[in-house]
Structure 1
Amino acid sequence: MIFFCYSFLSHIHLNNTKHTDPSPPPMRGHDWINTSLPDELIVEIFSYLFSKSTRDACSLVCRRWFRLERRTRTTLRIGATHLFLTLLPTRFSNLRNLYIDERLSIPLHLVRHQFPLSFPSHISISTLISSFISQGKRRPTDDEGDLDSLCLSDAGLSSLGQGFPKLHKLGLIWCSNVSSDGLASLARKCTSLKALDLQGCYVGDQGLIAVGQCCKQLEELNLRFCEGLTDTGLVELALGVGKTLKSLGVAACAKITDISMEAVGSHCRSLETLSLDSEFIHNKGLLSVAQGCPILKVLKLQCINVTDDALKAVGTNCRSLELLALYSFQRFTDKGLRAIGNGCKKLKNLTLIDCYFLSDKGLEAIATGCKELTHLEVNGCHNIGTMGLEYIGRSCQHLTELALLYCHRIGDVSLLEVGRGCKFLQVLHLVDCSSIGDDAMCSIASGCSNLKKLHIRRCYKIGNKGIIAVGKHCNSLTDLSIRFCDRVGDGALTAIAEGCSLHYLNVSGCHQIGDAGVIAIARGCPQLCYLDVSVLQNLGDMAMAELGEHCTLLKEIVLSHCRQITDVGLTHLVKSCTMLESCQMVYCSGITSAGVATVVSSCPNIKKVLVEKWKVSQRTKRRAGSVIAYLCVDL
């Protein structure tokens, strides 16, 4: 019955997505659904619709479906406004997860026709919603104080707690007007809270203490950029929710020191994830966490005053560690990494960024000890070379993702070993690896036939030979990016088109690629959704015509700095690519205002057009001003 009704609803919403009449839409003389099915059954059917687009479409069939669909919503993401929050409980009665983000912005032209005032160039979603709610009652001004008054306040937070006492997850992202009073009020009402994100909120210790006292089920807490907090608040929170807390993030909190980390280590024995970014945390604090949180699984550190001693403690005590990320460490050496290799046998994901004192010996210890490694990123670690990665290729047979960024000392031999040993590799990133060339790519292609994603940037030794091998052997490849690789030409793209069905392609700055290569992609990859061909001087209208004919699923295209593409090619492109959502075409001298107008008028789903301001006619501005973005604006 449920399956039948689901199929029936799907058929109805496809044919009635614009109906807004209070009465149900006519269905060949009779409405069998609204007259036969009770609210409870329709709500039950809606609960099986997991796609947001499908739910949205169903909610537009009629007012009854709109009202019932909102009753099944459990998650909502919005911009903040206390006026809007007071309306939420009556409309989304089953809401359990609410994410409020004041970083969300909307262009001025979307509201200018409603409020002919002097708004800033971008206003928050909260300002927009609040303006619509209060239209006819009061008119906001462009005063700083008036705009601040539209953001989420303590009163709004209190009313939110009153309306959703069973809230499980709450995100307050950069809600700068919220203070401890509002947080404490919410904590007293939402005692079932399990996850709280306070990133960028200037709340104080009293609010955090209230959370610790009232929210005894709290499992996840994000305190990134909460500059108003001190050790007092975090210590009291650890005392209150130490038994349940599983995830903690702290960054840029200058007044949180080792004292807080000692409290976490003493009381939060269930902690599984810890992210620390602080220059005020030393060995003492991390040692306490390592000794007191034995089931720690995820550890992300950017603490310049932490040394090998702390990492040794992690290796000794945290035997369940699965993910380790070390950022910008100047005081870690191979000794610390060796301790991880010796103790953390379950490690699957390792990220090393700008760790200048790590060398091949440290990577050897990881390869020898962590046989289950699946993800490895080495970024800017200039003392790690070919030999270190050779160890990974020989020992880590389960590796599925490898990223090498700014690794000038890593050469072809290392990837030869990876190609031989890592048969399950699916993702490979190579950025500014000047010593890696075609031999390495041929080895990866022949040995890693499961490769699905290959991103290469500024690796000047890689040319046609290596990419042709990828096209020949890696038939599962769907995502390819070859940016600013001067030796890659049309022959490489032809081989890719013959062997792979790409969804994503970026060949920006590959000057040897022209019409022939892109035409081959158009004919061989009809599933293509994203294409970046910017800075290709030999690309012209013929390629655009072929893309328009064969790649009808294309949603995003970047044509910037392609001087041979004209309005004619653009017309052919958009003729059949009606799903196009984004088109970037700055510094295309052959494209005029007529071409811009063609894109806007031919693509009903267009959301963004990036172009020079002088190429947009007044008529186009009036018709689609909300989707047009300018590279250069008048000063």
Structure 2
Amino acid sequence: MRSSSLSNSNPNTPPSEPDETLELIPDYISLINDQILSTILSNLNKNQLVSVSLVSKRLLRVSGGLVKSLKLLDWDFLDSGRLGFRFPSLLDVDIVQACIISPRNSGICLSNRFVSIHVNSVVAYEMGEMGGSGVVSNPDFLNARVIDRGVRVLAQMCVDLRRAVLLGVSYEGLVGVANECLALQELELCLCNDLDLKGLSGFRNLQILKLIGYVDGLYDNVISDIGLTILAQGCPRLLKLELVGCEGSYDGIKAIGQCCQMMEELTLCDHRLEGGWLAALSYCTNLKTLKFQSCKFIDPSPGPDEHLGSCPMLEELHLERCQLRDKQGLGALFFVCEAVRELVFKDCWGLDNNSFMAASICRRVMSLSLEGCSLLTMDGFDPIVLSWKELKRLKVISCNNIKDSAMTAELATLFTVLKELKWRPDSKSILSSGLEGTGIWQKGGRSFKI
């Protein structure tokens, strides 16, 4: 930056030499060391930090050191080694998007729970008398050798990684990451097969693992009992495990329970486990949280109750967007989870009065959450809730067949002693007006949300 002073205001006078009329203003940023400058830049938001990084090479370098999490979109940026130089302090990297070969300038985007990709004119719709249909072919991915080479570059440049989301990495690639990133604690794997999971044994501090097997519309890899057993033997220190679209059976879940004795949380999403697998949950002796998400069934043939066992340490059971029409499988699940303290149902299909009645075996429930369960009525809700003598928290939202008009005096009395109540079964609920004058709305009273 510089300022000029004109010695003569006459326009006909020739200008003086630049070195005589121009004075350089000092670069004050150069007087600040990198540590202080980094502290200053850390107070900027993401958009401001991007703008500041364009001012100079030094600000680009310092601002890059502040970036801890990154979702990679351009594979060449990683393969060339520029990612490590540009962002030397990364702790969290997601490379899935960059591994998918797709047209970047396409205006058509395909999204699911795990990834969003751009597609070309493969999508076609036939309207009119021919009916309507849309078909999207599975996308292409980078070659496994290319991905392994890039992952090794990533591991060598970002040795402090704590979390990584990888796609299409083989056994060799996983070994390379394990040897370099000794502090890695959380890993998400997509598009891998059973034998690739042998590379997990090299991760000494891995505590959280998400394994994504089959994904409809994206890829159809199979993770079977072989892969689950290899996983269990290679990751004995796991605390949380999430299995998405994985196959397997009793043997695979049993191996996980026997080897991963520290595991406290298990999530099953769209699982394809064979009948009888529920009995293996009893081997997960320290399991505290069990979650089902988008599952079409629980267990098609769980077997007799005397063979199921139980999870004595289980505290939470979550079922979200699951089909619960199979009464036998749901009843077996409640039998295994009879010690549960918190029950959560959200947008589950098939949860009616008969299905909910099976939850009466769980006698220690302290917290119940029901959301989007439209088949359940007060006839099935009332007796089960009243049977739970330790119930302290209740949440009922968008359960349209649970009516205030069918509420019993016993249930209304229970509401007055709960620590937390959120009651909004439908838009016509009049419970809030009925509670006026009871004193529960006064300052210092219990927490109620209507």
TM range (shorter): 0.5 to 0.7
Alignment partner, residue 377 of structure 1: 371
Residues 342-363 of structure 1: per-residue CA shift (max 9 Å, x gap): 522x326455723457445345
1:281 and 2:274 correspond:
yes
Alignment partner, residue 5 of structure 2: none
Alignment partner, residue 161 of structure 1: 155
Residues 600-623 of structure 1: per-residue CA shift (max 9 Å, x gap): xxxxxxxxxxxxxxxxxxxxxxxx
Structure 2 distance, partners of 1:73, 1:445, is 52
1:236 and 2:230 correspond:
yes
Alignment partner, residue 204 of structure 2: 216
Distance 1:55 1:292, change over 3 A: same
Structure 2 distance, partners of 1:234, 1:272, is 17
1:257 and 2:249 correspond:
yes
Structure 2 distance, partners of 1:333, 1:71, is 51
**Unaligned residue ranges in structure 2 (runs of 5+):** 1-24, 120-136, 215-220
What secondary structure does 1:389 align onto? Answer: helix
- One-letter amino acid of the counterpart of residue 94, structure 1: S
Deviation at 1:94, TM superposition (A): 1.0
Structure 2 distance, partners of 1:411, 1:72, is 54
Deviation at 1:70, TM superposition (A): 1.2
**Unaligned residue ranges in structure 1 (runs of 5+):** 1-28, 112-118, 129-143, 431-435, 451-473, 478-635
- One-letter amino acid of the counterpart of residue 196, structure 1: L
What secondary structure does 2:246 align onto? Answer: coil
Distance 1:309 1:411, change over 3 A: farther
Structure 1 distance, partners of 2:256, 2:222, is 19
Alignment partner, residue 298 of structure 1: 290
Alignment partner, residue 198 of structure 1: 189
Distance 1:80 1:392, change over 3 A: farther
Residues 438-473 of structure 1: per-residue CA shift (max 9 Å, x gap): 4356458999969xxxxxxxxxxxxxxxxxxxxxxx
- One-letter amino acid of the counterpart of residue 252, structure 1: G
Structure 2 distance, partners of 1:230, 1:219, is 21
Deviation at 1:232, TM superposition (A): 2.3
Give TM-score, length-normalised by structure 1.
0.50
Structure 2 distance, partners of 1:337, 1:278, is 15
Residues 218-268 of structure 1: per-residue CA shift (max 9 Å, x gap): 1111122352433223212211211x11122223233x3322111101101
- One-letter amino acid of the counterpart of residue 325, structure 1: L
Structure 1 distance, partners of 2:139, 2:241, is 35
Determine which structure has the larger helix proportion and give its number.
1
Distance 1:188 1:228, change over 3 A: farther
Structure 1 distance, partners of 2:448, 2:393, is 20
Would you say the 8 A contact 2:207–2:238 is kept in 1? yes
Would you say the 8 A contact 1:298–1:324 is kept in 2? yes
Alignment partner, residue 343 of structure 1: 339
Deviation at 1:95, TM superposition (A): 0.6
Distance 1:233 1:425, change over 3 A: same
- One-letter amino acid of the counterpart of residue 297, structure 1: T
Alignment partner, residue 67 of structure 2: 73
Name whichever of 145-154 and 245-254 sits farther off: 145-154
Distance 1:446 1:280, change over 3 A: farther
Deviation at 1:274, TM superposition (A): 1.2
Structure 1 distance, partners of 2:333, 2:195, is 39
Alignment partner, residue 93 of structure 2: 98
Alignment partner, residue 390 of structure 1: 382
Structure 1 distance, partners of 2:355, 2:51, is 55
Residues 498-541 of structure 1: per-residue CA shift (max 9 Å, x gap): xxxxxxxxxxxxxxxxxxxxxxxxxxxxxxxxxxxxxxxxxxxx
Would you say the 8 A contact 2:257–2:285 is kept in 1? yes
- One-letter amino acid of the counterpart of residue 439, structure 1: I
Would you say the 8 A contact 2:393–2:418 is kept in 1? yes
Structure 2 distance, partners of 1:409, 1:155, is 57
1:487-506 mapped onto 2 (5 Å cutoff): none
- One-letter amino acid of the counterpart of residue 377, structure 1: E
Would you say the 8 A contact 1:223–1:249 is kept in 2? yes
Give TM-score, length-normalised by structure 2.
0.67
Deviation at 1:207, TM superposition (A): 1.9
- One-letter amino acid of the counterpart of residue 290, structure 1: S
Distance 1:89 1:376, change over 3 A: same
Deviation at 1:39, TM superposition (A): 0.3
Structure 1 distance, partners of 2:261, 2:232, is 10
Would you say the 8 A contact 2:349–2:373 is kept in 1? yes
1:39 and 2:34 correspond:
yes
Would you say the 8 A contact 2:228–2:252 is kept in 1? yes
Residues 424-448 of structure 1: per-residue CA shift (max 9 Å, x gap): 3458474xxxxx7343564589999
Structure 1 distance, partners of 2:47, 2:383, is 47
Q: What is the aligned length?
A: 379
- One-letter amino acid of the counterpart of residue 86, structure 2: R
Larger radius of gyration: 2
- One-letter amino acid of the counterpart of residue 403, structure 1: I
